[in-house]
Structure 1
C-alpha cells in the first residue's frame, strides 16, 4: 500500500472512531451536530500546530493564544488532560468564553478576531465529559504540520461537508457542487494581484478553488506570499462560517479576510469604495432579508428577496475595477422576473456586459431543492451588446441528478471547448449555444429565460416539481412588484 493510501486510511480511521464516539453522546443528534462539533476541535488543533510552526520560522510572531488555552496545554497529553466533569467545566466555562472574548484588531483576517468570530456562537454540544475527552484524543492524532496529512484531511473534510449538506436538507444551501465551482472559477480566471470576493462565503468553496487557481500561477515562494490577503468574503451564519474557516485553513489559504456579517448591510457608495476585481458566488436564494437591509438599496430597486439584493451588491462591488468581472449562481426566477427584478436586469445590461448565461441542467442541487439554476457571467467592459446562452444538458439517459450520481466536472467539457475556442466576438452557435441581441432582450421586458431555439419546449415532459418551483418563483416576483409599488407610493405621499 502506498504512503498516500496509508495516510488516507489512517486519517479515515481516526474520523470514523471520532464519529463513533460522538454517536454515543446524548447531546449530539445526527451529522448536523456531529460535524460542527468535530470541526471546531479540528480547528483548534490545526490552529495550534500552525501557530507553533510559525513561531519557529518567525521569532517575531506573537501567538494569538497563550497558556492554558492552547491545544498543547489542555488537550495534547492524554496522561494529564482533564476528563469527565472537569473537562466539561474547562471547555464550557473557561476555554470557549475566553475564545469568544478575544479582542483583535477588528479587521477580517486578524487571528484573534477570527477566533472571536468563529467561537462567538460556537457551543460544545457534548454532554459527557468522558466522551469529549475520548474525542479530543482522536483529534490529537491528526498532524497539521505534515503537508501530506493536511492535503488528505482537506479531501476528507470536503466529503464531510457534502454529508453535512445531505443531513441538513433545506439548511444545506451553503454547499455548492465542486464541479460548478471549478468551472466558474476557471472561466473567470482570477489573476495574482487581483482582489477576489465571495460575499456569501458559506463553507468557502469558491474561495478555496480561487486560491488553488492563483497558487497554480505562481512559481516562487515570494510570488505565493504576494497572494496573501487576495481573498475577501462575508458570511453571516455562524455554522458555515466555522466550517468555511476550517476548510480554508486545510487548503492553505493564507490571509483571507472573511468577515462574520452580512455583505448586504452597506450603502452602494461603501460597496464601490471597498470594491474588488472578481466576485465568485452562489448567494442564498429563496430567502428574504429583514426590512432594514432593504434600506441600503435604491428605492426603486428594493426587494426582500436575497438573490436580487446580492446581484445588486455584486454590480456595485466590481463597478470601479476596469477588469471587474463576476460569476454568480442564480435561480431561474431571476431570469424571467419583471417588476423590481426587471429593473435590476435593466441596470445589469445597461451598465455591465452580461456576455454569458449558463443554463445548468435540472437537479444540480437535488434533492435539496428542485429550483433550476443558472450562472450569470458579466464584466465591467461596458453595456451589453449581445448575450450568449449555453444550455448544459443532462447526460444521455439521465432525468436528474441524485446524491449517488451527482454532477461531474467532465460534463462541462463541451461547454469548456466552446468557450475557449473563440473569444466573445468569435463564438459560434451550436445545438447548446445561441445568441440574442441586448436590444431584443430589452424589448421583451428584460426576460432572460430564453428557450433554446434548437430544442422544442416539451412542457408535458418537464418535471412537476420544476414547474411548481417556477410558479412559486413567479408569485414571489409578483409580491416583489407590489412591494416596490407600495414603496414608490409611500415615497410620493411624503
Structure 2
C-alpha cells in the first residue's frame, strides 16, 4: 500500500481566506441578515475582538518580562479568551443573550451586563483617552444582526483559528482586510463614497509629501485609506524611538460619523500599527467655522469628502449666510480651507490640502462660485488633476478631479494635468481599474512643470468673472484640455496656424541655444 502524503499545513493567507469563505457560507444561512452589508459587520466585529485579545496578550507578556504592571482594556469575563476561545463553548440562545442583552447570565455563570452593553460603557482611566474609549465608541453604534446563536458560534470558532501574534500574520490580515473593504465598497451601492481607489490615494499622499512632525487630517475618513497610506509614508521617516512616538501620538487624525465605517477605520489603523487611532465619531461639519481657531488647524488635509448628499439645517447654520449650501462637497471644501494652518502659525507656508471633488464643484455657480472665489483669493490653488472616466466605477460615472492647494498666498496661476486612459480604452471599469503606475508621467511632471499634451496652465484672473458693477457671476474651473485632439479639431484654422508658428519659434530658439553650447565647447 502506498502511504498518503501528509497534507501540507495551510499558510496564514490560505487559512484566513478559508475562514472568510466559510464564515460567509455560515452567515448566508442566517435569515436575520439581509445582503453583504449585514454579513460583513458580523465578521468584522468578531475579528476585531479576537485581534484585540491577541494584541492584549502580547502586551501583557511583554509587560511581565519587563516587570511592569499591565492594565487590560477589557476585563474578564468579557475578553475573547473568556467566552469565545473554547471551541463549542457558549452557543445558541445563551450566546445571543450574552452578546445582545443589556443584562444577562454571563459565560462564567454570574449575572451582569451583556457583552455589547459592557463594551459601550468602557472609559479611559483618570479622564485620559485610551483604547477603552476607542472600543466604546466603536460599539456604541454597532448591533449584532446575526440572530442564530449556533451559526454565530460557528463564525466565532472559525475566527478563533487566527492568531495575531506575528508581524507576518498582521501583514497578511491587513491585505485580507483591504479585500474586505473593497467588498464593502462593492456592496455599498450609493453609500460607496467612503472608499477611494488605493492608486488615487497613494498618488495624493506622495505628491503632498507629509512630513514627520506635521499633523495630517482626513475629516471624512471612511474606512481610513488616506490615513493608512499617510501612516505608511511617515513610517519611512522614523529613525528613532522619539520619531515613532511622535508618529503614534500626534500625527494622524480623522473624522467618521457612520458606525460601520468608524469600526472599519479603527481596525484598519490598528492592523497597520497605529496603537491609538484618533478618529472623531461626530460629523466634522458640526462646528461653526468662526469657532475654528489656530489650535484646531492642521498641516496637511487629505480627503475625499462625500458629495451629492444634503446636510440638515442645523449644520448649514455653522457656515456664513452667503456660503450655506445643501451640497456636502462644498461645505467640506469650506471646512478644509478653514482647517489649514496659516503661514507663521507653526508653518512657514501654511497648511496644504489634496481633495477629491466631482466635476460639479468645478463649474458650480452662485454659492459655489463664491466659495471658489475665496479659494482663489485666499489660497494658492496650484494644481488640478483631472481623472479619467470610470476611476470610481462601479458607483458613479461622474468625472472626478483632484484639487491641490495651500495657504502660501493667493492663486496666481493654476496648472491642469489631464490623466489619459490607457491606449485602446475609453474608461476604467470595476474589473479593469486604474493602476498606480498610470500616475507615473504626472508624478515626473510634478517636479519639473511644462506645458505638454496633457498639461496646461491658466491665470486665476481668467477664472473669476465679474460684471460692470464688480459682482462675481462666474468661477468656472471646469476647463478642457486645449492640447487634446478634440480641442484642436474645433479651433479656428488661423488660431491653429498661429499656434504652430509659435511652437516652431520655440523649437528654433532651443536649437540655436544648443548650437551655441556645442560651438562654445569646441573653442
SS at match of 1:443: strand
- Deviation sequence 1:172-221 (CA, Å, 0-9, x none): 11111000000000011111111110000100000000000000111334
So what's the TM-score if we normalise by structure 1? 0.88
Q: Report the Cα offset of residue 55 of structure 1.
A: 2.7
Q: Report the Cα offset of residue 274 of structure 1.
A: 0.9
SS at match of 1:279: strand
SS at match of 2:217: strand
For 1:106 and 1:248, how far apart are their aligned partners in 2? 25
2:81 corresponds, among 37, 53, 72, to 72
Stretch deviating more after TM superposition (225-234 or 268-277) = 268-277
Equivalent residue runs for 1:335-354 within 5 Å: 335-354=362-381
Q: Report the Cα offset of residue 451 of structure 1.
A: 1.2
Higher Cα radius of gyration: 2
- Deviation sequence 1:269-323 (CA, Å, 0-9, x none): 4333311111000000010110110111111111121100100000111133534
Q: Quote the RMSD (CA, aligned, Å).
A: 2.0
Assess, with a 3 A threshold, how the Cα gap between structure 1 residues 316 and 5 changes in structure 2: closer, same or farther. farther
Contact kept, 8 Å, 2:266 with 2:277, in 1: the verdict is: no
For 2:206 and 2:452, how far apart are their aligned partners in 1? 22
1:449 corresponds, among 457, 471, 478, to 478
Equivalent residue number for residue 457 of structure 2 = 435
Equivalent residue number for residue 502 of structure 2 = none
1:220 aligns with 2:225: no
For 1:270 and 1:55, how far apart are their aligned partners in 2? 43
- Deviation sequence 1:347-400 (CA, Å, 0-9, x none): 111111110001011111122111110010001111111100001111111122
Contact kept, 8 Å, 1:392 with 1:412, in 2: the verdict is: yes
Equivalent residue number for residue 107 of structure 2 = none
* Count of residue correspondences: 451
2:205 corresponds, among 171, 185, 197, to 185
1:173 aligns with 2:193: yes
SS at match of 1:436: strand
Contact kept, 8 Å, 1:451 with 1:457, in 2: the verdict is: no
Contact kept, 8 Å, 1:283 with 1:307, in 2: the verdict is: yes
Assess, with a 3 A threshold, how the Cα gap between structure 1 residues 100 and 169 changes in structure 2: closer, same or farther. same
Equivalent residue number for residue 480 of structure 1 = none
Equivalent residue runs for 1:291-330 within 5 Å: 291-320=313-342, 321=345, 322=347, 323-330=350-357
- Deviation sequence 1:329-358 (CA, Å, 0-9, x none): 001011011111111111111111110001
For 1:176 and 1:374, how far apart are their aligned partners in 2? 12
So what's the TM-score if we normalise by structure 2? 0.83
Equivalent residue runs for 1:67-466 within 5 Å: 67-78=76-87, 81-93=89-101, 94-104=114-124, 110-229=130-249, 230-272=251-293, 273-320=295-342, 321=345, 322=347, 323-420=350-447, 422=448, 427-443=449-465, 445-457=474-486
Contact kept, 8 Å, 1:108 with 1:258, in 2: the verdict is: no
Assess, with a 3 A threshold, how the Cα gap between structure 1 residues 396 and 29 changes in structure 2: closer, same or farther. same
Structure 1: stretches of 5+ with no match in the other structure: 461-494
2:24 corresponds, among 9, 19, 29, to 19
For 1:433 and 1:61, how far apart are their aligned partners in 2? 57
Contact kept, 8 Å, 2:355 with 2:402, in 1: the verdict is: yes
Equivalent residue number for residue 41 of structure 2 = 36
Contact kept, 8 Å, 1:99 with 1:116, in 2: the verdict is: yes
Assess, with a 3 A threshold, how the Cα gap between structure 1 residues 170 and 105 changes in structure 2: closer, same or farther. farther
Contact kept, 8 Å, 2:270 with 2:277, in 1: the verdict is: no
Q: Report the Cα offset of residue 256 of structure 1.
A: 2.4
Q: Report the Cα offset of residue 106 of structure 1.
A: 11
For 1:352 and 1:164, how far apart are their aligned partners in 2? 36
Q: Report the Cα offset of residue 47 of structure 1.
A: 1.2
Q: Report the Cα offset of residue 250 of structure 1.
A: 1.2
For 1:143 and 1:295, how far apart are their aligned partners in 2? 49
Q: Report the Cα offset of residue 105 of structure 1.
A: 6.9
Assess, with a 3 A threshold, how the Cα gap between structure 1 residues 146 and 97 changes in structure 2: closer, same or farther. same
Stretch deviating more after TM superposition (144-153 or 198-207) = 144-153
Assess, with a 3 A threshold, how the Cα gap between structure 1 residues 271 and 60 changes in structure 2: closer, same or farther. farther
Assess, with a 3 A threshold, how the Cα gap between structure 1 residues 339 and 192 changes in structure 2: closer, same or farther. same
For 2:385 and 2:218, how far apart are their aligned partners in 1? 19
For 1:265 and 1:134, how far apart are their aligned partners in 2? 42
Contact kept, 8 Å, 1:109 with 1:258, in 2: the verdict is: no
Structure 2: stretches of 5+ with no match in the other structure: 1-7, 102-113, 467-473, 490-523
Contact kept, 8 Å, 2:212 with 2:247, in 1: the verdict is: yes
